[in-house]
Amino acid sequence: IDRVVARETDHVMPFVWVSEGDFETLTTALEGDSSVANIELLADLEEERFYQMEWVDKSQIIGYMLREEDATVQRATAHDEQWTLRVLFPERDGISTTSQYAKEHGFTLDVSRIYDVDRAQRV
């Protein structure tokens, strides 16, 4: 993910560089994914593509993190209809409130690691 823009309260528009894999398979997968809409190919280079799209519905948790917790999505990957995110929260309680939001809205959220930036070690 290159940049993510929160637009209004229910749409998030990421700009995504794709540099690996079968681009045609990716395009087909994106078009069939109900969590994304308005997919637009902005640049088609030899070994990379640059897309803009909207995350909607099932992806509203990402918008919540961006708008309400001032989080930054540093990396996002998708596989088998499951997203894996690396997210930076400015405050530690942002993780807890996002987890609560996920639970209230029927999302599955698994936190695999938490790093404390001040101490530069895993917590």
Q: Is the pLDDT of residue 10 over 60?
A: no
Residue 60 pLDDT grade (very low, low, confident, very high; cuts 50, 70, 90): confident
pTM: predicted TM-score of the whole model, two decimal places: 0.67
- What mean pLDDT do residues 13-39 have? 82
Domain ranges across the chain: 3-122
Q: How many CB atoms lie within 10 A of CB 100?
A: 11
Q: What is the pLDDT of residue 8?
A: 53
**Gyration radius of the chain's alpha carbons:** 15
User: Do β-strands 3-7 and 36-44 pair in parallel, antiparallel, or remain unpaired?
Assistant: unpaired
Given phi > 0 = left and psi -120 to 50 = alpha, else beta, which region is 106?
Answer: left
d(CA 52, CA 58): 18
63-115: pLDDT as tens digits: 889 889 999 888 877 777 677 888 999 998 999 999 999 999 888 888 888 88
Q: Which amino acid is at 119?
A: R
